[in-house]
Amino acid sequence: MNHAAVCAAAAAQRARVTPGIDDMGRYLESQVADVSHREVIGPALPGSGASGVVVFRGERVASWGDPEVPEMAFSATKSVVSTVAGLAFDAGLIPDVHQPVTDTLDMPELDGPSAITWHHLLQQTSQWDGELWGKPAWADAGSLGPGSASPDAPPGAGWAYNDVRVNLLCLALTRLFGRPLPSVLRDRVLGPMGASGTWSWHGYRGATTHIDGEAVPVVSGGAHWGGGLWISAHDLALLGLLYLRDGEHHDRRLLSREWIDRTWSPCDHNPDYGYLWWLNDRRRVFPAAPPSGRCARGNGGRHLLWVDPERDLVIVSRWGEEAGRLLHEVSAAIS
């Protein structure tokens, strides 16, 4: 490892801070294309500046900004939703990802002639066109992007990046576990890994489901309208280390290798995507970065958890522009 080059890349990333993050309400409104659905309905956290860490062979070798300060994770939250789904799979709560969700749960939101499976929700191929917490699926511009199927196509017919549909998965997982997802993540992953107590996970205003007569909050899987996971670079790196170590932490199995393999298997309709993780095999996610990388990515890469098993490397970048440049420079210094 060229440590001086890694530190230089970290210093350069600190200077590439995203503008406008001190007014998060205005920033979030600018991210939603449909003007009729720009109202922020979840909590928002102003950005504190660029921060991040580089972890090589399990040791932190560089950092910038304050990596202990929580920041909104935006769509990097989706990869954490995938982790929680993996916990359900490992516990036998999801016996078969290819079974319809309604075979396991009472989900009136999924009533209809076409059966949506856990696999569909995890790969973003569900084609679900309903509304949740006041936000219709069509309001997310990702639903209309390249590779997406027509609105009346059946589940599995196309891929579309969609916050509302991931929120539907969060709702299903909350009902499946019978408790809020943050408590599952804390008890089964971040707690055992020694994460700080500063992280939190939020939903939208009024986002609850009733379980055994009690209103249980439902978190969101992104932050197009606020909410989502708020977590520091340090704590997010722990999740990367879990995946880098095939689901083990200090010889304790927290997540199965089978789930990680499923998570990092490419979607037929978008080979750059797995179970809510991005895959750089074709070098289309980050062209200048190695094809061995996988990542949790939010807000166009401004929030990034990069895992490269080939280099035994984890990189976390928060509120930084040109993340691909950081990945290229650090990876070159490691190889």
- Determine the pLDDT at residue 26: 85
* Number of folded domains that form the chain: 1
Closest CA to 236 of 77, 38, 86: 77
Residue 148 lies in a domain: yes
SS3 state at 35: helix
- Alpha-carbon gap, residue 206 to 27, rounded angstroms: 22
Residue 309 lies in a domain: no
- Determine the pLDDT at residue 224: 86
CB 207 within 8 A of CB 48: no
- Name the residue type at position 314: V
- Determine the pLDDT at residue 234: 99
Profile the chain (335 residues) by mean pLDDT over runs of 10 residues: 98 97 87 66 96 98 98 98 99 98 95 90 95 88 57 87 97 98 99 98 97 97 95 99 98 98 97 99 98 98 98 99 98 93
Residue 324 lies in a domain: no
> Hey, what are 48's tokens?
């504190």
Residue 65 lies in a domain: yes
Residue 72 lies in a domain: yes
Residue 316 lies in a domain: no
- Determine the pLDDT at residue 112: 80
CB 302 within 8 A of CB 151: no
β-partners of residue 51 are: 318
- Determine the pLDDT at residue 114: 80
Residue 311 lies in a domain: no
- Domain CATH number, residue 118: 3.40.710.10
Residue 56 lies in a domain: yes
Instruction: State which residues form the domain around 187.
Output: 3-304
> Hey, what are 25's tokens?
């309400």
